[in-house]
Structure 1
Amino acid sequence: MEKRVDAREYHLNSKQAYLNLFFEQAEDSIAVFDLEDRVITVNPAFEKLYGWSKTEAIGRSLPLIPPKNLEGARSRAKELRKGSHYYLFETTDMRKDGTIFDVQISLSPIYNSHGEIIASSIISRDISHVKENENLILQSEKLKVVGEIAAGVAHEIRNPMTVISGFVQMMNEDSNSPYYEHTKLIQKETERIELILSEFLVLSRPQVNQFVNIHLAKIFDDIIQFFQFEFQQKSIDIILQNNYPDVIILGNANEIKQIFINLFKNAMEAIKDGGTITLEVFPSKDNNEIFIRLKDTGCGIPSYVLERIFEPFYTTKTKGTGLGMMVINKIIQDHHGTIKIKSQEEVGTEILLSFPVVQS
């Protein structure tokens, strides 16, 4: 009897040791909650993933769920207390610092020896990198579709549009024509079609650009001059803060101009009744890069739009193609630059660009 008792005790202790070892060394986050959603215990992977230490977590009801997901989480918790299970459920959780991340979770009730639910366990895994890869694949597929469409259609459309545009320009020379306003409108729309085709072609053709030295100050002067009439019409003040007029970058001048034409157009559309657009130029600490900050006092960009702003065909504009920001991003990447966007609704938008500098 003593040997059998000793063997059983050894078996139980070994089992408990293995369970503790699994709990402590598991790569997935594991947390145990009581029926009031207070933390009973967590493993080291939970501390690493969510940012809460074990000491901070135990006994507390932690804010692990983003506000927009609370209703669904409460519903699952209610079903969990009835004995339901959830396996590999994909959602979003929140870290201690407030950052949101994609997560895959499994929820299970914990029973006592009498078959009563006394707690629940949550095993979670960060799948942000998986979601990111899925998005990259989707973006790549969309780009492929855009390229195929552009390569097959854009040139064919351009040929008749060139003829139409030429004849409309001839008709516009007679300002006394009863159709003058109509032909002006036709000309404006053909120019818009040309812009759309240019965006398609940028996405479709392989980049074999012969980059040359570009004086950024000249680009800025040209762009501001180009929009000067529209600035006056819309009562927009343009502020240029450039103490580095001699900065040179390597690139394609037309494509760099296209970046700032699109950005200025977006800024002007965001400003309804007068406002300010500020263009600020400054170098990096090591002088290897130049930063261009473009700020406007427009209506701002909603967060849900900002998250998808570089997606192809995604637009909130009635006349937009959903390609403008995507083209900008591609051109910047081709020039080994970066772009970051911050925005606040009813306050304005700030866009920070960077490009490598040609060292003199």
Structure 2
Amino acid sequence: MVELEDIWFRLAIDHLHLGLLIIDRKGRIQICNRALSGMTGLKENEILDRSLAAVSGSREHGHNKLLQTINTGREFQDLNPETVLPVTGLFACTVSTRVIRNRSGIPIGAMAVFIPAGRQQELENAVVKAEKLAILGQMTAGMVHEIRNPLTSISGFLQLLQEYLKGTPKEEYVTLMLAELKHVNSLIADFLQLSKPGYAKRARCSISKVITDVVMLVESEAFLRKLDIKLDMATDIPAILGDSDQLKQVFLNIFKNALDALSHGGVILLQALWNGPEKSVQVIITDTGTGMDEQTMANIFDPFFTTKESGTGLGMFIIKKIIDNHNGRIEIQSTPGEGTTVTVLLPAGL
């Protein structure tokens, strides 16, 4: 068992994209991973158990920052790599050192982590980009909210004008304008949803109750369109911790997508059960609709991607955001002409 753990540890170390050098308390090299070998040209089997001072050419321990770390306990950040391994041809990178302690807190070694300059720059760029997007998101949410107020007034006056023009040829213009305003308001509602945090309230809620409420909302439309909804819900489904209102939005949107994909006589089958191995509540919604091709499947969660003429392209993006914020998972399988299966897994609040 110990030998197997050592193998997995070795594999993990060698698959790091960062260079890793570990020495023991006496300054002897114990680990030089594959990434560091690629950076320096040093082979672990050639330097293993050798003195770092000899390998690095340091005459005094004080000149080598990793040896200084093991001797004094002082740790360093963003060092020039040659302060640890002055090897010709070393990749552009920075080095940080750390003391290694056992479970009792006693120093037993030290390690140097070599971070490639390009990867460090990528991380810094990602942080800057995230900060900019956060600021932009806050500004957009406030601006969109302000836009909504005058649109409400315009819609009200157009409705009054529609009554005045009723029966005249110009009535259709007002009707068209109201329809476009409704579409804009729908888009604004989706944007405001995106600006909200994952979910503000955590409470124990029943997925069975959430699904039952959603089915009550869509069953009249299904009846009028001669579509059949079949439910198969287990009785042993535990409660989850989450926001029941947002979960209703998730399943309502999934149902609406299924309804849009069905023709007369189509069927939607919903199964809800307890997934023991994953300790999750699993909801599977299958329709016999038109299905989706590979390109649609590849872009389905992208914002503003839609195959509907009147769609905003934010529905599935919001669904995934809500599920992610509930620490859940959504999976979609679809075949053109045969139908689509959407599986949602949500961790139980045990």
TM-score of the superposition, structure 2-length normalised?
Answer: 0.54
Q: 2:206 aligns with which of 215, 231, 236?
A: 215
SS of the residue corresponding to residue 307 of structure 1 reads helix
TM-aligned CA deviation for residue 198 of structure 1: 2.5
Corresponding residue for residue 320 of structure 1: 311
Q: 2:325 aligns with which of 334, 339, 358?
A: 334
Q: 1:154 aligns with which of 121, 125, 144?
A: 144
Corresponding residue for residue 280 of structure 1: 271
Corresponding residue for residue 256 of structure 1: 247
Corresponding residue for residue 223 of structure 2: 232
SS of the residue corresponding to residue 223 of structure 1 reads helix
Greater shift after overlay, 302-311 or 332-341? 302-311
Greater shift after overlay, 263-272 or 343-352? 263-272
TM-aligned CA deviation for residue 267 of structure 1: 0.8
Letter aligned with residue 315 of structure 1: T
SS of the residue corresponding to residue 235 of structure 1 reads coil
State how far apart, in whole Å, the 2-side matches of 1:142 and 1:235 are: 49
**Contact map agreement 2:286 2:340 (CA 8 A) in 1:** yes
SS of the residue corresponding to residue 159 of structure 1 reads helix
Corresponding residue for residue 113 of structure 2: none
1:185-210 Cα shifts (integer Å, max 9, x gaps) = 77766554443223212222344612
**Contact map agreement 2:199 2:243 (CA 8 A) in 1:** no
State how far apart, in whole Å, the 2-side matches of 1:195 and 1:303 are: 28
Unaligned 5+ runs, structure 2: 1-14, 16-118
The answer to whether structure 1 residue 195 and structure 2 residue 186 are counterparts is yes
Aligned residues: 224
TM-aligned CA deviation for residue 316 of structure 1: 2.5
State how far apart, in whole Å, the 1-side matches of 2:330 and 2:219 are: 25
Identity level (%): 35
SS of the residue corresponding to residue 141 of structure 2 reads helix
SS of the residue corresponding to residue 299 of structure 2 reads coil
SS of the residue corresponding to residue 212 of structure 2 reads helix
Corresponding residue for residue 85 of structure 2: none
State how far apart, in whole Å, the 1-side matches of 2:339 and 2:175 are: 33
**Contact map agreement 1:284 1:290 (CA 8 A) in 2:** yes
Q: CA RMSD in A?
A: 3.7
The answer to whether structure 1 residue 311 and structure 2 residue 274 are counterparts is no
TM-aligned CA deviation for residue 301 of structure 1: 0.8
Letter aligned with residue 313 of structure 2: G
Letter aligned with residue 231 of structure 1: A
1:144-187 Cα shifts (integer Å, max 9, x gaps) = 69835741432012213444566778999x9xx75999988777
State how far apart, in whole Å, the 2-side matches of 1:194 and 1:353 are: 29
1:236–1:170 Cα change, 3 Å: farther
1:268-301 Cα shifts (integer Å, max 9, x gaps) = 1111333011111011124721000011111101
The answer to whether structure 1 residue 243 and structure 2 residue 216 are counterparts is no
Letter aligned with residue 298 of structure 2: E
State how far apart, in whole Å, the 1-side matches of 2:159 and 2:218 are: 21
State how far apart, in whole Å, the 2-side matches of 1:149 and 1:178 are: 44
TM-aligned CA deviation for residue 309 of structure 1: 1.2
SS of the residue corresponding to residue 337 of structure 2 reads coil
**Contact map agreement 2:292 2:340 (CA 8 A) in 1:** yes
Unaligned 5+ runs, structure 1: 1-26, 28-129
1:49-77 Cα shifts (integer Å, max 9, x gaps) = xxxxxxxxxxxxxxxxxxxxxxxxxxxxx
State how far apart, in whole Å, the 2-side matches of 1:335 and 1:218 are: 17
Letter aligned with residue 309 of structure 1: I
Corresponding residue for residue 52 of structure 2: none
1:127-158 Cα shifts (integer Å, max 9, x gaps) = xxx9xx99xx7x97997698357414320122
Corresponding residue for residue 33 of structure 1: none
SS of the residue corresponding to residue 187 of structure 2 reads helix
State how far apart, in whole Å, the 1-side matches of 2:133 and 2:336 are: 30
1:158–1:285 Cα change, 3 Å: same
TM-aligned CA deviation for residue 261 of structure 1: 1.6
Q: 1:293 aligns with which of 276, 281, 284?
A: 284
SS of the residue corresponding to residue 228 of structure 1 reads helix
1:338–1:158 Cα change, 3 Å: same
Greater shift after overlay, 213-222 or 327-336? 213-222
State how far apart, in whole Å, the 2-side matches of 1:184 and 1:144 are: 38
State how far apart, in whole Å, the 2-side matches of 1:277 and 1:252 are: 25
